[in-house]
């Protein structure tokens, strides 16, 4: 089997491998791939009782263990298990009645529980204040019900394996569109949704002409008023500049490529925007590892092995069509609708790494041209593979009424209504050890803090080799790169290397869009990609990108301005609060909201082994120049209560970074008694929380001896008077699971340290 990196192994253990009731893995990586291959290959017997299932199982097993292709996460997690839900993407309709709305809430909860993400259009709901004839009351509008869906998602949270993720879309001609544009103005609001405005071509024409456009009551079809299109577009741009919300979706383009228009309009996409679907449709995704499609020529230079790529595409299409067949859908209606079109979404990962191997800059015309050439080849090969399956297994049931029928002249119908999608590959690209989707590399070097307080510098393997070959590699240089975030200003690295090894923030927004458009021209569904902006970007820069995405033929676009979602250390809601020495706040008034400061990139600390009733508990306490900031725990082989101690450590870390007095934290933790500990002689603590308190205390004493000043606790009066923190100039948010740097890529937020993802 292909070697799996240590980081990938940790992600697999944490999120993919089967576990026992204590959370310990019960299968190996090879066992996971064997489980998936066996389950998926078995579908061939549905069409041919004489099929050699054993041979096909080995082919699918080899496809995955070589890391040539990986299916979406639910397939890896659930194939061959009782749950058996293998799809990542679903779209549910939201009708304009209380019964329909809460039926959709229930259906979404079932999908989230099974590991899928959901997309909704709220455009059918009547606007806030509209009359409800059945009750004589007034409607509360789409945004109020989005919050209901958001709370339901929060409650489910998919059992900790995959987090609930939603896409919320509202048509630009809905009367509540302005409220929708601003509904995520606060980063802490509607947190389980990505939102996008559904734009029409008529609206974009009105923007170009600086003309008004109509708002339409969805329940009556009547015009309720007009807005200036350019002003509304400006509001969308302002929101995206502020914190990346909302994105935009070009609805008419989605429906232009709807191959079964007789089944209705496409209203929404999945959470990351790459998979437009009809109501109750689902889609199964998978990605080809383009790095494994490279070969060396006689001179040792890398080239693309198109023969291997074509073979891999054919195997992957076969695999994904089988997934549709064995899938255990969460709702009968979803099964019926999905089987009627049999949509699959084959995409890629590792594209940026391929450019590096070929010596091509991502932000070059040559890079864009290669992207388009590769995707055109994959799209054509996937169509051919689908038609070959159609000749053997039959067309998808709605083929006769589809727009694809006119394209078939040789009697080989399409087995699948769509075959290609460019999805964010988040965790599966970590498993494969390659760059995500079609995104540029986010960072070439970064420092990872490990349990014993030491630091490891992780470096992109292609950069390491390039620098070693040129006699330039050193750990000091790698630390500098990790601090700079880019090679662009490091003059000791030759310009020829810097020109190729560009990261996300080196790529201009124009080239981000041009690359997305190049792949979109040869993709049946859509392309998930994030256009990264520096923190200094203006709203006008975002406006240009949105217009460029429209003229270049994209189906939507998501942007992220660096640092725009950073949480303030103190968010007090007003800049006009009285000064602490002028007026103390009313002690009966609610406390202002406090958000913890982000986890620092570099920390120092100590790890101590504490004996508890269950065995050994390893407690790590870290600090930076602002004081003690985080606590980690790990249990020894004897077991214990790892979830309880981890929860205590996490909450303690949040309190420490929120300015809670150290004495108050220690008072709450000290002396908590656990029966398994106090019943044994010779223990130096009474429980896991007590052990944590003792190590925190010793760390504080060590800091005092070394002259490191602990910050004073933040007092209530000071909270009320504190000014809003200035915006971050450079600094991505940090993973809530492991504290590493988060990456804004593919329309999503993910962590390459532990596999955490907001939406996939």
From the list 78, 166, 194, 270, the catalytic residue is 270
Q: How far is CA 713 from CA 475, 654, 664, 700, 717, in A?
A: 38, 14, 10, 14, 12
- Residue 296, SS3 per DSSP: strand
What are 496's two structure tokens?
């020829």
> At a CB cut-off of 8 Å and minimum separation 6, what does 733 contact?
565, 566, 567, 598, 742, 749
What phi and psi, each to the nearest 5 degrees, are found at residue 161? -85, -50
Q: How far is CA 12 from CA 102, 183, 386, 754, in A?
A: 35, 36, 31, 9
pLDDT band at 603 (very low <50, low <70, confident <90, very high): confident
Is 44 inside any structural domain?
no
Whether pLDDT at 253 is above 60: yes
Q: What is the DSSP letter of 607?
A: E
Is the CA virtual torsion 267, 271, 256, 241 positive or negative? positive
Is 64 inside any structural domain?
no
Q: Which residues pair with 198 in a beta bridge?
A: 171, 249
What are 280's two structure tokens?
């109750």
pLDDT for the residue numbered 637 = 62
Clarify whether 272 is annotated catalytic: yes
C-alpha torsion 521→522→528→533, nearest 10? -40
pLDDT for the residue numbered 749 = 81
Is 280 inside any structural domain?
no
pLDDT for the residue numbered 162 = 54
Is 575 inside any structural domain?
no
| Average pLDDT score over residue span 10-29 | 92
Residue range 89-140, pLDDT digits in tens: 999 999 999 999 999 999 999 999 888 899 999 999 999 999 887 777 789 9
Question: In 265-311, where do the E strands start and end?
Answer: 268-269, 276-277, 282-289, 294-296, 302-304
pLDDT band at 721 (very low <50, low <70, confident <90, very high): very low
The owner of tokens 């500049």 is: 241
Residue range 626-644, pLDDT digits in tens: 789 899 898 876 656 777 8
The owner of tokens 């980081």 is: 7
Determine the Cα–Cα distance for residues 518 and 362; give it in Å rounded to an integer.
12
Residue range 643-698, pLDDT digits in tens: 788 889 889 988 888 888 888 898 889 878 887 777 677 777 888 888 899 999 88
Q: How far is CA 268 from CA 110, 195, 201, 722, in A?
A: 19, 11, 16, 42
Residue range 200-221, pLDDT digits in tens: 999 999 999 999 999 999 999 9
Residue 419 near residue 383 (C-beta atoms within 8 A): yes
Closest CA to 366 of 172, 592, 518, 153: 518
Whether pLDDT at 726 is above 50: no
What are 625's two structure tokens?
């120049």
Residue 457 near residue 601 (C-beta atoms within 8 A): no
Determine the Cα–Cα distance for residues 5 and 446; give it in Å rounded to an integer.
16
Q: What is the CATH number of the domain that holds 180?
A: 3.20.70.20
- CB-CB neighbours of 116 under 10 Å: 28
pLDDT for the residue numbered 281 = 98
Is 347 inside any structural domain?
no
Is 211 inside any structural domain?
yes
Determine the Cα–Cα distance for residues 267 and 251; give it in Å rounded to an integer.
7
Closest CA to 265 of 310, 303, 218, 321: 218
Determine the Cα–Cα distance for residues 197 and 210; give it in Å rounded to an integer.
19
Helix (H) or strand (E) holding 655: helix 642-657
Looking at the chain, the whole-number percentage of residues with pLDDT higher than 90 is: 66
Listed residues 681, 702, 717: the one ending a domain: 717
Is the CA virtual torsion 403, 408, 413, 415 positive or negative? negative
Query: Omega before 246 cis (within 30°)?
Result: yes
- Residue 674, SS3 per DSSP: coil
For helices 688-705 and 662-669, angle between their N-to-C axes, nearest 10 degrees: 150
What are 454's two structure tokens?
């030491």
> Cα–Cα–Cα angle for 257, 259, 260, nearest 5°?
130
For helices 365-393 and 509-520, angle between their N-to-C axes, nearest 10 degrees: 20
From the list 89, 272, 748, 751, the catalytic residue is 272
Q: How far is CA 90 from CA 77, 107, 171, 319, in A?
A: 17, 10, 19, 20
Gyration radius from the chain CA atoms: 27
The owner of tokens 């990986």 is: 70
Q: Which residues pair with 478 in a beta bridge?
A: none
- Residue 752, SS3 per DSSP: coil
Question: In 489-548, where do the E strands start and end?
Answer: 530-533
Determine the Cα–Cα distance for residues 665 and 445; give it in Å rounded to an integer.
36
From the list 245, 267, 274, 630, the catalytic residue is 274
In terms of phi and psi (left: phi > 0; alpha: psi -120 to 50; beta: otherwise), the region of 210 is: left
Determine the Cα–Cα distance for residues 110 and 758; give it in Å rounded to an integer.
18
CA 180 to chain CA centroid, Å, is 22
Determine the Cα–Cα distance for residues 325 and 51; give it in Å rounded to an integer.
15
- Residue 556, SS3 per DSSP: strand
Q: What is the DSSP letter of 466?
A: H
Closest CA to 342 of 277, 403, 269, 293: 277
Listed residues 245, 269, 293: the one ending a domain: 269
Listed residues 213, 248, 269: the one ending a domain: 269
Helix (H) or strand (E) holding 213: strand 212-216
Whether pLDDT at 703 is above 70: yes
Query: Mean pLDDT over all residues of the chain?
Result: 88
Determine the Cα–Cα distance for residues 647 and 666; give it in Å rounded to an integer.
16
Clarify whether 685 is annotated catalytic: no
Residue-number span of the structural domain to which 694 is assigned: 604-717
The owner of tokens 């263990």 is: 65
Number of domains in the chain: 2
Closest CA to 572 of 588, 584, 587, 590: 590
Is 430 inside any structural domain?
no
Is 667 inside any structural domain?
yes
Whether pLDDT at 320 is above 60: yes
Residue range 401-436, pLDDT digits in tens: 999 999 999 999 999 999 999 999 989 999 999 999
Clarify whether 760 is annotated catalytic: no
Residue range 175-188, pLDDT digits in tens: 999 999 999 998 88
pLDDT band at 706 (very low <50, low <70, confident <90, very high): confident
Closest CA to 275 of 370, 184, 341, 326: 341
């Amino acid at each position: 089997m292909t070697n799996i990196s240590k980081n990938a192994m940790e992600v697999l253990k944490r999120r993919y491998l089967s576990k026992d009731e204590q959370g310990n893995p019960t299968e190996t990586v090879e066992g996971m791939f064997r489980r998936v291959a066996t389950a998926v290959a078995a579908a061939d017997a549905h069409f041919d009782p004489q099929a050699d299932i054993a041979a096909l199982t080995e082919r699918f097993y080899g496809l995955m263990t070589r890391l040539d292709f990986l299916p979406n996460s639910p397939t890896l997690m659930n194939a061959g298990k009782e749950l058996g839900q293998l799809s990542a993407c679903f779209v549910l309709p939201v009708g304009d009645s209380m019964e329909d709305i809460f039926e959709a809430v229930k259906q979404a909860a079932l999908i989230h529980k099974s590991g899928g993400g959901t997309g909704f259009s709220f455009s059918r709901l009547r606007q806030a204040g509209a009359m409800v004839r059945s009750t004589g009351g007034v409607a509360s509008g789409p945004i109020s019900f989005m919050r209901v869906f958001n709370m339901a998602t929060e409650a489910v949270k998919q059992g900790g394996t995959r987090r609930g993720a939603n896409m919320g879309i509202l048509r630009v001609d809905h009367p509540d569109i302005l409220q929708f544009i601003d509904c995520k103005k606060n980063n802490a609001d509607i947190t389980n949704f990505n939102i996008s405005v559904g734009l029409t071509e008529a609206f974009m024409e009105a923007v170009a002409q600086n003309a008004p456009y109509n708002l339409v009551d969805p329940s009556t079809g009547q015009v309720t008023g007009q807005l200036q299109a350019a002003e509304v577009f400006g509001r969308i741009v302002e929101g995206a500049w502020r914190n990346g919300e909302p994105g935009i979706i070009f609805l008419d383009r989605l429906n232009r490529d709807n191959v079964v228009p007789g089944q209705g309009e496409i209203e929404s996409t999945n959470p990351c925007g790459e998979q437009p679907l009809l109501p109750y449709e689902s889609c199964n995704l998978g990605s080809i590892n383009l790095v494994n499609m490279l070969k060396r020529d006689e001179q040792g230079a890398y080239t693309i092995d198109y023969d291997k790529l074509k073979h891999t595409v054919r195997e992957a299409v076969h695999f994904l069509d089988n997934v549709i067949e064995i899938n255990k859908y969460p709702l009968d209606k979803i099964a019926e609708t999905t089987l009627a079109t049999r949509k699959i979404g084959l995409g890629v990962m590792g594209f940026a790494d391929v450019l590096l191997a070929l010596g091509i800059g991502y932000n070059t015309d040559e890079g864009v041209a290669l992207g388009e050439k590769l995707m055109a080849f994959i799209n054509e090969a996937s169509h051919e593979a689908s038609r070959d399956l159609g000749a053997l297994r039959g067309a998808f049931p709605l083929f006769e009424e589809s727009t694809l029928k006119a394209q078939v002249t040789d009697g080989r119908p399409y087995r699948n209504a769509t075959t290609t999608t460019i999805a964010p590959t988040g965790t599966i690209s970590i498993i494969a050890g390659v760059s995500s989707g079609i995104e540029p590399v986010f960072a070439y070097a970064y420092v990872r803090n490990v349990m014993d307080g030491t630091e490891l510098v992780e470096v992109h393997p292609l950069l390491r080799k390039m620098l070693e070959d040129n006699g330039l590699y050193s750990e000091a240089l790698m630390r500098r790169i990790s601090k700079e975030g880019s090679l662009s200003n490091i003059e000791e690295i030759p310009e020829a290397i810097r020109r190729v090894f560009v990261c996300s923030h080196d790529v201009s927004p124009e080239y981000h869009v041009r690359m997305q458009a190049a792949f979109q021209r040869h993709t049946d569904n859509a392309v998930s990609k994030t256009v990264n902006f520096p923190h200094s970007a203006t709203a006008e820069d975002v406006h240009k990108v949105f217009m460029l995405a429209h003229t270049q033929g994209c189906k939507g676009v998501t942007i992220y301005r660096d640092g725009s979602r950073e949480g303030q250390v103190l968010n007090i809601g007003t800049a006009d609060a009285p000064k602490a020495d002028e007026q103390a706040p009313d002690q009966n008034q609610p406390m202002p909201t406090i958000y913890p400061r982000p986890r620092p990139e570099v920390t120092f600390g100590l790890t101590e082994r504490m004996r508890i009733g269950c065995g050994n508990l390893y407690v790590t306490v870290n600090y930076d120049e602002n004081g003690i900031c985080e606590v980690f725990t790990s249990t020894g082989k004897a077991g214990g209560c790892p979830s309880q101690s981890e929860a205590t450590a996490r909450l303690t870390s949040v309190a420490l970074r929120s300015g809670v007095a150290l004495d108050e934290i220690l008072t709450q933790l000290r002396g908590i008694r656990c029966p398994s500990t106090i019943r044994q002689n010779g223990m130096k603590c009474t429980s896991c929380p007590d052990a944590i308190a003792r190590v925190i205390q010793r760390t504080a004493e060590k800091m005092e001896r070394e002259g490191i000043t602990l910050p004073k606790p933040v007092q209530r009066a000071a909270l009320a008077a504190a000014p809003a923190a200035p915006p971050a100039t450079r600094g991505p948010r940090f993973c809530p699971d492991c504290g590493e740097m988060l990456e804004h890529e593919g329309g999503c937020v993910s962590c390459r340290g532990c596999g955490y993802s907001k939406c996939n």
